[in-house]
Amino acid sequence: MFQIISRRHIYFAISGAVVAISVASLLVFGIKLGIDFTSGSILRLQFERSVTSSEIIQALEDHGVEGASVKTAGENTFLIRSATILSENKAEVESRLQETLGPVEELSFNSVGPVIGRELTRKAFLAVGVASLGILVYLTWSFRKVDRPVRYGVTAVVTLVHDSVILLGAFSILGQIAGMEVDSLFVTAVLTVVGFSVHDTIVVFDRIRENRSQHRDKPFSEVVNFSLNQTIDRSLNTSLTAIFVLAALLVLGGDTIRDFVLALLIGIAIGTYSSIFTASCLLAGWEEGDFRKLARLALDRMRA
């Protein structure tokens, strides 16, 4: 049997450190927002002959399109991001590029106005809030027969916030090193990961609930540890199957949804870790009075 709960201070330290790194990266670098949030446009073009990004930037500037960024996306295929290429002047820009750089095919074009961008940001925050609240309410209700059911709900929500912060932090760092941007699909990924994280946490909590009612004489942390050991195979196996399918999508799927799949993959890995090492430790710690002791310690220090 793995001793997880008795070593919970280690896992608290790991989670605390990773969350701290994520928050620091978010504060320092922020997160690279895609056009869904900032507005602007992305034009995906495939040229017939081989051209370089700098040739494209040069050609764009010659025709008065300033400040565009160009990224390679496959053979002779480029993503051109710009704040000034809009539905109205796109055809003209394309014909100018064609004059300079030879035949070009428009694979896709996506432009988002500022109104839409602001709305998405607002909706994204609202969605994460509503989902968390819904889950908190459902869990508190579902665990109403145990002592202090609200603790189960709160712990699950703290865990999902933990997961989302780390996922955001990961994309903040990826934005710095790989120029990765987040779009509306990223918000979808965060919400899905939230659902998945809670899904995992619930399975462990359900077992705690069941074992608790059968072994009321045992210390709570022992019951939690036993329950964790009973469910750990399942947690790992379920994540493995999800990771199999996502990895297949990441490697073989098209590059239009690759970032989305990557976000899901990272998020699900974090969710699996947290359901085993974070949620249960938090619950056990709360029941055993860790946080009260910690608060008292802090108060004493402050007084001294």
Partner 1 sequence: MRRRLIIALVSILALAAFAVYVDWPGTPGLPLTLGDRNLRDLEVRQGLDLQGGLHVVFQADPVPGQAIPEGAMEAVKEIIENRVNALGVAEPVIQIEGDDRIIVELPGVSDPDEAIKLFKETGSLEIFGTGFVPFEEGSFIDETTEGADRILTGAEVKDASVGFDEIGNPEILFELTDAGGGKFQEHTSANIGQWMSITLDGRVIQSAVIQAAISTRGRITGNFNAQEARRVAIQLRYGALPVPLRVVQNLTVGPTLGQDSLEKSVRAGIVGFVLVLLFMVAYYRLPGLVASLALFLYAALVLAIFKLLPVTLTLAGIAGFILSVGMAVDANILIFERTKEELRSRLTIGAAVEAGFRRAWNSIRDSNIATLITCAVLWQFGSGVVRGFALTLAIGVLVSMFSAITASRTFMRVVVRLKRGHDPRWYGVDSPSAETAP
Residue among 21 and 185 whose Cβ is closer to partner 1 = 185
Q: Rounded to an integer, what distance in angstroms lies between the CA atom of residue 286 and that of residue 284?
A: 5
Coil, helix or strand at residue 80? strand
Q: Name the one residue in this structure whose structure tokens are 């619950």.
A: 283
| Shortest Å, Cβ 98 to partner 1 | 14
Amino acid symbol at 265: L
| Distances from the Cα of 221 to the Cα of 41, 148, 188, 200, 209, angstroms | 54, 15, 35, 19, 13
Q: Exactly one of 38, 98, 100, 184 binds partner 1 (CB under 8 A); which one?
A: 184
Instruction: Give the binding range for partner 1 (CB under 8 A) out of 6-14, 62-70, 192-200, 286-294.
Output: 192-200
Q: Per 3-state DSSP, what percentage of the chain is helix, strand, and coil (rounded to 5)?
A: 70, 10, 20
Q: Exactly one of 10, 13, 14, 91 binds partner 1 (CB under 8 A); which one?
A: 91
Q: Does 263 participate in binding partner 1 (rule CB under 8 A)?
A: no
Q: Rounded to an integer, what distance in angstroms lies between the CA atom of residue 281 and that of residue 297?
A: 20
Residue among 16 and 219 whose Cβ is closer to partner 1 = 219
Which 277-296 residues touch partner 1, going by CB under 8 A? none
Q: Does 223 participate in binding partner 1 (rule CB under 8 A)?
A: yes
Closest-CA residue to 104 (of 115, 117, 90, 118): 90
Q: Rounded to an integer, what distance in angstroms lies between the CA atom of residue 254 and that of residue 257?
A: 6
Question: Could you report how far apart the first and last alpha carbons of the chain are, in Å?
Answer: 42
Which 37-66 residues touch partner 1, going by CB under 8 A? 41, 44, 46
| Shortest Å, Cβ 123 to partner 1 | 5
Q: Does 246 participate in binding partner 1 (rule CB under 8 A)?
A: yes
| Shortest Å, Cβ 61 to partner 1 | 23
| Shortest Å, Cβ 29 to partner 1 | 26
Which 93-132 residues touch partner 1, going by CB under 8 A? 105-113, 115-116, 123-124, 126-127, 130-131
| Distances from the Cα of 304 to the Cα of 81, 190, 228, 291, 300, angstroms | 57, 43, 40, 20, 6
Calculate ∠ Cα 259-267-41, nearest 5°: 25
| Shortest Å, Cβ 213 to partner 1 | 12
Q: Does 237 participate in binding partner 1 (rule CB under 8 A)?
A: yes
Q: Does 231 participate in binding partner 1 (rule CB under 8 A)?
A: yes
Q: Does 186 participate in binding partner 1 (rule CB under 8 A)?
A: no
Most distant CA pair in the chain, distance: 82
Q: Does 245 participate in binding partner 1 (rule CB under 8 A)?
A: yes
Q: Cβ distance 279 to 155 under 8 Å? A: yes
Q: Exactly one of 27, 28, 177, 252 binds partner 1 (CB under 8 A); which one?
A: 252
- Residue 42 belongs to what H/E stretch? strand 40-47
Which 12-41 residues touch partner 1, going by CB under 8 A? 41
Q: Exactly one of 32, 142, 149, 212 binds partner 1 (CB under 8 A); which one?
A: 142
| Shortest Å, Cβ 107 to partner 1 | 4
Q: Does 264 participate in binding partner 1 (rule CB under 8 A)?
A: yes
Q: Exactly one of 254, 301, 303, 304 binds partner 1 (CB under 8 A); which one?
A: 254
